[in-house]
Structures are given as C-alpha cells and as structure tokens.
Chains A and B, each alone.
Chain A
Amino acid sequence: MKKSSLFGLLALVIRRDLLLAMRRRADVLTTLIFFVMVVSLFPLGVGPEMDMLRKMASGVVWVAALLASMLSLPRMFSADYADGTLEQMLLAPQSLSVLVLGKIVAHWMLSGLPLALIAPVLGLQFDMSAPALWTLVLALLLGTPVLSMIGAVGAALTLGLRGGGVLVSLLVLPLCIPVLIFGAGAVEAVTSGMSVVSNLSFLGAFMLFALVFTPFVAAQALRISME
C-alpha cells in the first residue's frame, strides 16, 4: 500500500481527470472554440475601427475568458456525480479538500490554461502590442485559476440541478468581477503606462486567497449537495 502523501493524492486525482477528459476531447475543444467565437463577435458588433478595438481588447478577451470558463464548470463534478465516484470520494478517508483541489487543477488545465495560451492570437485580432500580449497571457495565467476555484464552489452547490451552466454562471460571475477588473486592468496598465505590477499583485493575492479557502468551501458545498 503506497503511502498517500498530499501531492501523491493530488497527482492521482489530476491524472485521472485529465485522462478522462482526453477521452472526450470535444469538451475541451468546444470551450476553446466558444472563447474564440465570442472574442470575434465583438468587432462584428461594434465595428472594425482599430483604435476602439485596441482599447476594448483586454476587456473583451477577459469577458470571453470568464464566459468560456463558466461554460465548462458543470463538467467538474457532473461526470463523477453521475457514476457514483463522487459519493466514494465523500466517503473516502482522504481529505475531500485535497481531492477537490485536484479536480480544480485539472479543470484549470483543461479550460483556463488553454485559454491563456491561445489568447495572444486573439489579441492580435485587436492589434494589441507585444508587451500587452505578454501581460495578457500572464494575467490570464494568474486569473483563470481563481475562476476555476470560485467556479468549483458554484459547481458543487448546483450539483444535479436543472438550469445547469446558466445557474452556475449567475451565482459565480458576480464573485469573479474583481478578477475581471484587475485582469483587464493589468493589460490596460501596459498601454496607458501605469503600474502593471499592482494589478498583477492583486491577481496573485486573489489566487493565494482562493487557494487557501476554496477547496475547503467547495468540499463543504459538495457535502451539502450530496447528503
């Protein structure tokens, strides 16, 4: 019997979720395609004037990232809930918070991380400068984990309910607004010459704060939903 350390358990959960997701690659891809589509919709809605688009760019990419993350949230727990694995997780002697953290990390690797990596391509559509693009990627890398973490709480609370993704979004989006503000703000700071570091610091602080509290809160939410 292998000694199950904290990281060992995490790695196990993450690997399992990634493996399961790889068997349904479509889910990951549809989130990405949604992201790209939403970003592309904005110029169609507001006109192709480059100056305006450049100003809107960071906000548009961030809002699209938020929405795309929301879309994939129900998937965090629904599959395991449906086949009974989640129930086993609740009964397991291992810390539920750690298991949840593992699921969050896996979710982020399948939604937030790809979004952050593909964002520069979209940023070019809005004629963002190179420094702005770098900042965008960095900000998304810092911010999307928070979206996954807060989203986990929402997904856990709405487990098995009708209304699915929309209800989760309704609950979670207001809570994600600080991430949006500082995330988009970081990119704007580059173009307006103000302090990028302060915005990124806030994002970092949010991430740490969420990291400490959300696995536990999400685990409690799971218990509430499952008893």
Chain B
Amino acid sequence: MAINWFKYSAPSTFYGLAGKLIPFFAWPAAALFAFGLYIGFFVAPTDATQSEAYRIIFLHVPASILSMFIYLIMAGYAALGLIFNTRLSSMMAQALAPTGALFAFISLWTGALWGKPMWGAWWVWDARLTSELILLFLYLGFIALQASIEDPRRADRASALLAIVGSVNVPIIYFSVKWWNTLHQGSTIKFSGTSMHVAMQEAMFAVLVACWLYAIAVSLARVRSIILEREANTQWVNELKEVRS
C-alpha cells in the first residue's frame, strides 16, 4: 500500500489520523509500564549496596533518557518547520515541549529522592543531574519564547531557531558540566557499576519504552488541540463532528 506521506502533513488530515492512533500508543504504554514495574519490584532482587532505594532508577533513567530524546525530536520537528515551512511540524514541536519538560522534572525529582538516602543530600551537583537541570531550563525557555510571541508564524520560527541553537549547545553544556564536576571532585550518582541483574535491565527497558509510547500518545493528543486552536477559522474545523454537536 503506497502511503502518501504528504497527505498527512496537512493539519486537517493529520488531525483525524492522530485521533485514531492515540489508543494504540496509550494502552500499550500503560500495560508495558505495569509490566516493567512488576519486574522491577517483584522479580529484580534487592541490591547489595543500595538496598531497596535503587528501585527508583527504573523511573529515573528512562525519564532522563526520554527528556533528552524528546528535546532532540522537538528540535528536529521545529527545524523541519523552519526549513520546509510546514505548519504541522512546528505544531508537533509545540506539542512535545511540555511533555519533555515534565520528564526532565521527573528525572530531577527522582534523582533528588535517590540522592538523599544514598549520598546524603537532596541535591548533589552530579554532572548528569546538573545537565538535566539545564535541559529543563532550555525547555522552559522554548516554551516561554513561544508564549511571548503573538504571531504564530514568528513564534514557530523563532522557537525553532532557539531549539536548534539549544541542540547544538547540549553536548557542549554536558561536556562543560562534566569537566566542572570532576574538577571540583563532585559526587557521581551511579548505580553499582558492576553488571546489572538481567531483571533490572528488563524492567528499565520496559519502563523506557512505556514512557516513550506515553509521550507519543500525550503529544498526539496535545497536537490535536493545537491544530484546532490554530486552524480555528478554517472550514474543515467548523465542520467537525465535535464542533457541530
């Protein structure tokens, strides 16, 4: 079946597609999340050094990975919107930002709650946690810039430029923070170091995929609202079943 991809690059057609796709991401996400947590809590053994507190990593690591992954995807969509002038790409970037920011927040929160019992302080200036904090700032800057610009096209393009500049900076920032951390003999939040039990890896991977599916589902739902808001004056929107009833 030849899929005409460009058909779905129009907001009007993507709106319907997104709506149909959401359940296919949402339910597997929930199921996989439950499965991952089951493995993590009931199959994976207690850790020798970190006792039961290590179980936080099943959430912390996926959240960190996803927050970075979403930022890159968001920047990618924004760049597409900037280069090809496709409104939908920019709308997707706009939809992804809050989800990414929330994952960054979860990463920081779980990192703090993991750090306190293990390393004694609510916040240790670990290189990864600090980079995560800066990533959160980058997300917030992106969202703030979009919110401050009234004209949607200018908002799209300005935030796209910001996201691209941010993406280029992320490796530089990460490297700088790592340097700063080792220079000041900071602590490194690490887990065991030695090989992780298979069940732990399985649990983390399951939760990672679950979070990824969740992120897709939520972003698709959010982009539907964004499409409606930005295409409010078009005929197809006004003829939608949900608007007519």
Contact = CB atoms under 8 A, between A and B. Distances in A.
Q: Direct contact between A and B in the complex (CB less than 8 angstroms)? A: yes
A167 B143 CA distance: 11
Nearest to B135: A174
Contacts of B161: 153, 157, 217, 220-221, 224
Interface in B24-70: none
A174 B141 contact: yes
For the complex, would chain B's binding face be called helix, strand, loop or mixed by DSSP majority? helix
Contact of A177 (B140, B149, B177): B177
Interface in A133-179: 153, 157-158, 161-163, 167, 170-171, 173-175, 177-178
Contacts of A174: 134, 137-138, 141, 166, 169, 173
A217 B140 CA distance: 21
B144 interface: yes
B90 to A, nearest CB: 12
B144 A167 contact: yes
A182 interface: yes
Interface in B157-181: 157-158, 161-162, 165-166, 169, 172-173, 175-177, 179-180
- Report the contact-size class of chain A (Cβ under 8 Å from the partner): 20 to 34
B166 A158 contact: no
Q: In this complex, which of A174, A181, A182 has the most chain B Cβ atoms within 10 angstroms of its Cβ?
A: A174
A29 B137 CA distance: 30
A74 interface: no
A163 B144 CA distance: 10
Interface string A201-213: 0100010000000
Nearest to A179: B176
B145 interface: yes
B243 interface: no
B142 to A, nearest CB: 8
A123 interface: no
B177 A181 contact: yes
Nearest to B168: A213
Ranked nearest first, the 7 interchain pairs of A and B with the lowest CB-CB distance are A178-B176, A174-B137, A224-B157, A171-B141, A181-B180, A181-B176, A157-B158
Given A167-B144, A170-B144, 20 more contacts: A157-B145, A158-B148, A170-B137, A170-B140, A170-B141, A171-B144, A174-B137, A174-B173, A175-B166, A175-B173, A181-B176, A181-B177, A182-B179, A188-B183, A206-B172, A220-B161, A221-B158, A221-B161, A224-B157, A225-B154
26 contacts: A157-B158, A162-B148, A167-B144, A170-B140, A170-B144, A171-B141, A171-B144, A171-B162, A174-B137, A174-B138, A175-B169, A177-B173, A178-B169, A178-B175, A181-B176, A181-B179, A182-B176, A185-B180, A185-B183, A194-B183, A206-B172, A217-B165, A220-B161, A221-B158, A224-B161, A225-B158
